[in-house]
Amino acid sequence: MRNITVGAAQLGPIQKAEGRQNVVARMITLLDEAASKGADLVVFPELALTTFFPRWYMTDSAEIDSWFEKEMPNAAVQPLFDAARKHGCAITFGFAEKTPDGHYFNTSIFVDKEGNIAGKYRKVHLPGHSEWDDNRAFQHLEKRYFEPGDLGFPVYRTLGGIFGMCICNDRRWPETFRVMGLQNVEMVTLGFNTPSVNSEKGGEGIEQRLFHHRLSLQAGAYQNATWVVAVAKAGSEDDHHLMGGTLIVDPNGHIVGELPGEDDGVLVHTCDLDETKFGKSTIFDFARHRRIEHYGLITERTGAEEPAE
Ligand code: ING
Protein backbone atom coordinates (compact mmCIF):
# COMPACT_ATOMS: atom_id res chain seq x y z
CA MET A 1 0.00 0.00 0.00
CA ARG A 2 1.32 3.40 -0.92
CA ASN A 3 -1.62 5.64 -0.03
CA ILE A 4 -1.79 9.26 -1.13
CA THR A 5 -4.80 11.22 0.05
CA VAL A 6 -5.61 13.71 -2.69
CA GLY A 7 -7.72 16.84 -2.44
CA ALA A 8 -9.09 17.92 -5.81
CA ALA A 9 -9.70 21.62 -5.15
CA GLN A 10 -12.17 23.01 -7.67
CA LEU A 11 -12.40 26.77 -8.08
CA GLY A 12 -15.65 28.47 -9.00
CA PRO A 13 -15.53 31.42 -11.37
CA ILE A 14 -12.85 34.11 -11.17
CA GLN A 15 -14.18 37.38 -12.57
CA LYS A 16 -11.92 39.55 -14.71
CA ALA A 17 -11.86 42.21 -11.99
CA GLU A 18 -10.98 39.78 -9.17
CA GLY A 19 -7.44 40.26 -7.81
CA ARG A 20 -4.93 37.48 -7.27
CA GLN A 21 -4.91 38.10 -3.51
CA ASN A 22 -8.61 37.27 -3.30
CA VAL A 23 -8.17 34.14 -5.39
CA VAL A 24 -5.23 32.99 -3.26
CA ALA A 25 -7.38 33.45 -0.15
CA ARG A 26 -10.03 31.19 -1.72
CA MET A 27 -7.34 28.63 -2.57
CA ILE A 28 -6.07 28.65 1.03
CA THR A 29 -9.59 28.04 2.31
CA LEU A 30 -9.82 24.98 0.04
CA LEU A 31 -6.33 23.87 1.09
CA ASP A 32 -7.31 24.14 4.77
CA GLU A 33 -10.43 22.04 4.12
CA ALA A 34 -8.50 19.38 2.21
CA ALA A 35 -5.77 19.27 4.86
CA SER A 36 -8.39 18.88 7.60
CA LYS A 37 -9.56 15.78 5.70
CA GLY A 38 -6.04 14.35 5.61
CA ALA A 39 -4.87 15.45 2.17
CA ASP A 40 -1.19 14.86 1.34
CA LEU A 41 -1.59 16.57 -2.05
CA VAL A 42 -3.99 19.32 -3.15
CA VAL A 43 -4.59 19.83 -6.88
CA PHE A 44 -5.83 23.19 -8.20
CA PRO A 45 -7.07 24.11 -11.70
CA GLU A 46 -5.42 25.45 -14.84
CA LEU A 47 -4.76 29.23 -14.75
CA ALA A 48 -5.86 29.14 -11.13
CA LEU A 49 -4.81 32.70 -10.28
CA THR A 50 -6.87 34.62 -12.82
CA THR A 51 -9.95 34.55 -14.94
CA PHE A 52 -9.64 32.54 -18.17
CA PHE A 53 -8.24 35.61 -19.97
CA PRO A 54 -7.65 33.84 -23.36
CA ARG A 55 -11.36 34.45 -23.98
CA TRP A 56 -10.53 38.18 -24.42
CA TYR A 57 -8.99 39.63 -27.59
CA MET A 58 -6.13 41.90 -26.47
CA THR A 59 -3.51 43.82 -28.46
CA ASP A 60 -1.86 45.94 -25.74
CA SER A 61 1.28 44.14 -24.50
CA ALA A 62 1.07 45.67 -21.01
CA GLU A 63 -2.51 44.45 -20.65
CA ILE A 64 -1.53 40.97 -21.86
CA ASP A 65 1.47 40.88 -19.52
CA SER A 66 -0.74 41.79 -16.55
CA TRP A 67 -2.18 38.24 -16.69
CA PHE A 68 1.24 36.58 -16.41
CA GLU A 69 3.45 35.70 -13.40
CA LYS A 70 7.02 36.93 -13.90
CA GLU A 71 8.42 34.84 -11.05
CA MET A 72 7.20 31.85 -9.03
CA PRO A 73 6.67 31.99 -6.12
CA ASN A 74 5.85 35.70 -5.91
CA ALA A 75 4.26 37.98 -3.35
CA ALA A 76 0.70 37.15 -4.42
CA VAL A 77 1.09 33.36 -4.08
CA GLN A 78 3.58 33.21 -1.19
CA PRO A 79 0.71 32.87 1.34
CA LEU A 80 -0.41 29.74 -0.52
CA PHE A 81 3.09 28.27 -0.39
CA ASP A 82 3.27 29.13 3.33
CA ALA A 83 -0.11 27.52 4.06
CA ALA A 84 0.85 24.35 2.19
CA ARG A 85 4.12 24.17 4.12
CA LYS A 86 2.24 24.69 7.40
CA HIS A 87 -0.08 21.78 6.58
CA GLY A 88 2.74 19.61 5.22
CA CYS A 89 0.79 19.32 1.95
CA ALA A 90 2.10 19.15 -1.57
CA ILE A 91 0.17 21.29 -4.06
CA THR A 92 -0.13 21.73 -7.80
CA PHE A 93 -1.65 24.71 -9.58
CA GLY A 94 -1.66 26.31 -13.01
CA PHE A 95 -0.74 29.85 -13.95
CA ALA A 96 0.31 31.98 -16.92
CA GLU A 97 4.13 32.08 -16.95
CA LYS A 98 6.28 34.83 -18.48
CA THR A 99 9.92 33.67 -18.45
CA PRO A 100 12.83 36.07 -17.74
CA ASP A 101 13.83 35.81 -21.43
CA GLY A 102 10.35 36.77 -22.58
CA HIS A 103 8.55 33.53 -23.38
CA TYR A 104 4.88 32.95 -22.50
CA PHE A 105 3.48 29.59 -21.38
CA ASN A 106 0.36 28.05 -19.85
CA THR A 107 2.20 26.41 -16.95
CA SER A 108 1.62 24.16 -13.96
CA ILE A 109 3.95 23.42 -11.05
CA PHE A 110 4.12 20.68 -8.43
CA VAL A 111 5.30 21.96 -5.02
CA ASP A 112 6.37 19.19 -2.65
CA LYS A 113 5.71 18.96 1.09
CA GLU A 114 8.93 20.83 1.82
CA GLY A 115 7.83 23.74 -0.39
CA ASN A 116 10.25 22.95 -3.24
CA ILE A 117 9.12 23.02 -6.88
CA ALA A 118 9.48 19.28 -7.67
CA GLY A 119 7.90 19.43 -11.13
CA LYS A 120 7.04 21.92 -13.84
CA TYR A 121 4.98 21.50 -16.99
CA ARG A 122 4.12 23.82 -19.87
CA LYS A 123 0.96 23.08 -21.84
CA VAL A 124 1.81 21.41 -25.15
CA HIS A 125 -1.62 21.20 -26.85
CA LEU A 126 -3.03 24.71 -27.27
CA PRO A 127 -6.62 24.70 -28.55
CA GLY A 128 -8.44 27.50 -30.35
CA HIS A 129 -6.94 30.19 -32.56
CA SER A 130 -4.65 33.24 -32.53
CA GLU A 131 -6.66 35.90 -34.39
CA TRP A 132 -10.20 37.24 -33.92
CA ASP A 133 -12.72 34.76 -35.37
CA ASP A 134 -16.18 36.12 -36.26
CA ASN A 135 -17.50 32.58 -36.58
CA ARG A 136 -17.20 31.96 -32.87
CA ALA A 137 -19.78 32.77 -30.21
CA PHE A 138 -16.75 33.67 -28.06
CA GLN A 139 -13.01 33.65 -28.61
CA HIS A 140 -10.49 31.03 -27.41
CA LEU A 141 -7.11 32.68 -27.94
CA GLU A 142 -4.59 30.39 -26.22
CA LYS A 143 -2.57 30.22 -29.46
CA ARG A 144 -2.37 34.04 -29.34
CA TYR A 145 -1.03 34.35 -25.79
CA PHE A 146 0.94 31.14 -25.18
CA GLU A 147 3.75 29.26 -26.91
CA PRO A 148 3.52 25.45 -27.04
CA GLY A 149 5.23 23.93 -24.03
CA ASP A 150 8.96 23.17 -24.38
CA LEU A 151 9.42 20.73 -21.49
CA GLY A 152 7.77 17.66 -22.99
CA PHE A 153 5.76 15.52 -20.56
CA PRO A 154 8.15 15.02 -17.62
CA VAL A 155 7.52 12.81 -14.60
CA TYR A 156 9.17 13.22 -11.20
CA ARG A 157 9.64 11.18 -8.04
CA THR A 158 7.86 12.68 -5.01
CA LEU A 159 5.49 11.57 -2.23
CA GLY A 160 6.87 8.02 -2.63
CA GLY A 161 5.61 7.70 -6.20
CA ILE A 162 6.01 8.82 -9.79
CA PHE A 163 3.89 11.85 -10.72
CA GLY A 164 3.23 13.82 -13.89
CA MET A 165 1.14 16.77 -15.03
CA CYS A 166 -0.75 17.89 -18.07
CA ILE A 167 -3.20 20.76 -18.66
CA CYS A 168 -6.75 20.82 -20.00
CA ASN A 169 -6.70 20.21 -23.76
CA ASP A 170 -3.71 17.88 -23.32
CA ARG A 171 -6.12 15.29 -21.87
CA ARG A 172 -7.79 14.90 -25.28
CA TRP A 173 -4.57 13.63 -26.89
CA PRO A 174 -3.58 10.03 -26.05
CA GLU A 175 0.08 10.88 -26.65
CA THR A 176 -0.01 12.98 -23.47
CA PHE A 177 -0.74 10.02 -21.19
CA ARG A 178 1.32 7.51 -23.18
CA VAL A 179 4.55 9.53 -22.98
CA MET A 180 4.10 9.67 -19.19
CA GLY A 181 3.01 6.01 -19.17
CA LEU A 182 6.30 5.13 -20.86
CA GLN A 183 7.99 6.70 -17.81
CA ASN A 184 5.87 4.56 -15.45
CA VAL A 185 3.75 7.44 -14.15
CA GLU A 186 1.47 6.47 -11.26
CA MET A 187 -0.58 9.66 -10.91
CA VAL A 188 -1.27 12.40 -13.47
CA THR A 189 -2.68 15.66 -12.11
CA LEU A 190 -4.28 18.26 -14.35
CA GLY A 191 -6.39 21.37 -14.23
CA PHE A 192 -8.88 22.51 -16.87
CA ASN A 193 -10.96 25.52 -17.92
CA THR A 194 -13.49 24.14 -20.41
CA PRO A 195 -16.13 26.40 -21.94
CA SER A 196 -19.42 24.59 -21.62
CA VAL A 197 -20.97 26.01 -24.76
CA ASN A 198 -18.92 25.37 -27.90
CA SER A 199 -17.34 28.54 -29.26
CA GLU A 200 -18.36 27.63 -32.82
CA LYS A 201 -22.00 28.53 -33.53
CA GLY A 202 -24.35 25.59 -33.06
CA GLY A 203 -21.87 23.98 -30.75
CA GLU A 204 -22.28 20.90 -28.54
CA GLY A 205 -24.02 21.07 -25.18
CA ILE A 206 -22.55 20.54 -21.76
CA GLU A 207 -23.54 16.86 -21.52
CA GLN A 208 -21.51 16.06 -24.65
CA ARG A 209 -18.61 18.15 -23.28
CA LEU A 210 -18.70 16.25 -19.99
CA PHE A 211 -18.90 12.89 -21.83
CA HIS A 212 -15.75 13.68 -23.87
CA HIS A 213 -14.01 14.95 -20.73
CA ARG A 214 -14.69 11.74 -18.78
CA LEU A 215 -13.96 9.54 -21.82
CA SER A 216 -10.53 11.13 -22.34
CA LEU A 217 -9.53 10.86 -18.68
CA GLN A 218 -10.79 7.31 -18.19
CA ALA A 219 -9.01 6.15 -21.35
CA GLY A 220 -5.76 7.86 -20.33
CA ALA A 221 -5.89 6.30 -16.87
CA TYR A 222 -6.83 2.79 -18.02
CA GLN A 223 -4.46 2.58 -21.03
CA ASN A 224 -1.49 3.64 -18.90
CA ALA A 225 -2.49 2.08 -15.57
CA THR A 226 -2.27 5.39 -13.74
CA TRP A 227 -4.38 7.48 -11.38
CA VAL A 228 -5.71 10.71 -12.93
CA VAL A 229 -6.87 13.74 -10.94
CA ALA A 230 -8.64 16.44 -12.97
CA VAL A 231 -9.71 19.74 -11.41
CA ALA A 232 -11.98 22.40 -12.91
CA LYS A 233 -12.22 26.11 -12.72
CA ALA A 234 -15.98 26.32 -13.28
CA GLY A 235 -18.99 28.60 -13.37
CA SER A 236 -19.74 31.85 -15.09
CA GLU A 237 -16.83 34.26 -15.55
CA ASP A 238 -18.13 37.60 -16.85
CA ASP A 239 -21.06 35.74 -18.44
CA HIS A 240 -18.80 33.12 -20.02
CA HIS A 241 -19.61 29.66 -18.68
CA LEU A 242 -17.05 26.99 -17.78
CA MET A 243 -18.16 23.44 -16.98
CA GLY A 244 -17.37 21.54 -13.81
CA GLY A 245 -16.48 17.86 -13.78
CA THR A 246 -13.72 17.73 -11.17
CA LEU A 247 -13.00 14.02 -10.78
CA ILE A 248 -10.54 11.26 -9.88
CA VAL A 249 -10.03 8.16 -12.04
CA ASP A 250 -8.37 4.97 -10.75
CA PRO A 251 -5.80 2.94 -12.73
CA ASN A 252 -8.61 0.68 -14.01
CA GLY A 253 -10.38 3.64 -15.58
CA HIS A 254 -13.17 3.88 -13.00
CA ILE A 255 -14.27 7.34 -11.81
CA VAL A 256 -13.95 6.96 -8.02
CA GLY A 257 -15.32 10.42 -7.24
CA GLU A 258 -16.76 13.45 -9.03
CA LEU A 259 -17.54 16.82 -7.47
CA PRO A 260 -21.00 18.17 -8.28
CA GLY A 261 -21.63 21.85 -8.98
CA GLU A 262 -19.55 24.75 -10.24
CA ASP A 263 -18.39 26.45 -7.03
CA ASP A 264 -15.29 26.29 -4.85
CA GLY A 265 -15.18 22.79 -3.40
CA VAL A 266 -12.92 19.86 -2.49
CA LEU A 267 -13.16 16.21 -3.49
CA VAL A 268 -10.96 14.03 -1.27
CA HIS A 269 -9.96 10.46 -2.08
CA THR A 270 -7.25 8.13 -0.80
CA CYS A 271 -5.39 6.67 -3.77
CA ASP A 272 -3.17 3.58 -3.40
CA LEU A 273 -0.35 4.00 -5.92
CA ASP A 274 0.23 0.23 -5.77
CA GLU A 275 -3.07 -0.21 -7.62
CA THR A 276 -1.15 0.77 -10.75
CA LYS A 277 1.01 -2.35 -10.57
CA PHE A 278 -1.49 -4.89 -11.89
CA GLY A 279 -2.19 -3.06 -15.17
CA LYS A 280 1.48 -2.25 -15.72
CA SER A 281 2.45 -5.91 -15.27
CA THR A 282 -0.33 -7.52 -17.34
CA ILE A 283 -2.45 -5.93 -20.09
CA PHE A 284 -0.29 -2.78 -20.27
CA ASP A 285 3.11 -4.33 -19.71
CA PHE A 286 4.45 -2.09 -22.48
CA ALA A 287 7.79 -3.92 -22.80
CA ARG A 288 6.07 -7.23 -23.48
CA HIS A 289 3.26 -6.06 -25.80
CA ARG A 290 4.10 -2.88 -27.69
CA ARG A 291 5.44 -3.12 -31.27
CA ILE A 292 7.09 0.24 -31.92
CA GLU A 293 8.29 -0.81 -35.37
CA HIS A 294 4.69 -0.17 -36.53
CA TYR A 295 4.07 3.14 -34.73
CA GLY A 296 6.31 5.41 -36.85
CA LEU A 297 3.55 7.63 -38.23
CA ILE A 298 2.70 8.84 -34.73
CA THR A 299 5.85 10.96 -34.57
CA GLU A 300 6.68 11.24 -38.28
CA ARG A 301 3.35 12.75 -39.41
CA THR A 302 1.59 15.78 -37.85
CA GLY A 303 -1.62 16.00 -39.88
CA ALA A 304 -3.59 13.13 -41.38
CA GLU A 305 -2.73 12.24 -44.99
CA GLU A 306 -5.02 10.09 -47.14
CA PRO A 307 -3.72 7.08 -49.10
CA ALA A 308 -2.77 7.85 -52.73
CA GLU A 309 -5.29 5.61 -54.53
N1 ING B 1 -10.12 24.32 -22.95
C2 ING B 1 -10.87 23.40 -23.71
C3 ING B 1 -10.50 21.95 -23.47
O4 ING B 1 -9.73 21.36 -24.20
C5 ING B 1 -11.90 22.77 -25.80
C6 ING B 1 -10.90 23.70 -25.18
C7 ING B 1 -13.21 22.75 -25.34
C8 ING B 1 -11.51 21.92 -26.79
C9 ING B 1 -14.13 21.88 -25.93
C10 ING B 1 -12.43 21.04 -27.39
C11 ING B 1 -13.74 21.03 -26.95
O12 ING B 1 -11.06 21.40 -22.56
C13 ING B 1 -8.79 24.44 -22.74
N14 ING B 1 -8.41 25.43 -21.93
O15 ING B 1 -7.98 23.69 -23.27
Please give the class, per CATH, of domain 3-300: alpha beta
Q: Is 9 in the pocket of ligand 1 (CB under 6 A)?
A: no
How confident is the model over 39-65, as a mean pLDDT?
98
pLDDT value at residue 203 = 58
Radius of gyration of the chain (CA): 19
pLDDT value at residue 201 = 47
Task: Tell which one of 140, 145, 166, 210 to mutate to probe ligand 1, the residue whose CB is within 8 A of the most ligand atoms.
Answer: 140
Q: Is 200 a catalytic residue?
A: no
Q: Cα–Cα distance between 176 and 125 in angstroms, integer?
A: 9
Please say if the pLDDT value at position 12 is more than 60: yes
> What confidence tens digit (pLDDT) does each residue in 208-237 have?
999 999 999 999 999 999 999 999 999 999
Domain ranges (residues) in the chain: 3-300
How confident is the model over 152-172, as a mean pLDDT?
98
The one catalytic residue in 89, 142, 166, 168 is: 168
**Residue 173 CA to ligand 1 centre (angstroms):** 11
pLDDT value at residue 252 = 98
Q: Is 168 a catalytic residue?
A: yes
- 3-class state of residue 286 by DSSP: helix
Q: Is 86 a catalytic residue?
A: no
Q: Is 169 in the pocket of ligand 1 (CB under 6 A)?
A: yes
How confident is the model over 155-182, as a mean pLDDT?
98
Q: Is 203 in the pocket of ligand 1 (CB under 6 A)?
A: no
CA distances for 301 relative to 41, 201, 239, 294, 297, angstroms: 38, 30, 40, 13, 5
- Least confident residue range of 52-56, 136-140, 258-262: 136-140
Q: Cα–Cα distance between 183 and 306 in angstroms, integer?
A: 32
Q: Is 192 in the pocket of ligand 1 (CB under 6 A)?
A: yes
**Residue 209 CA to ligand 1 centre (angstroms):** 9
How confident is the model over 151-157, as a mean pLDDT?
98
Share of the chain above pLDDT 70, in %: 98
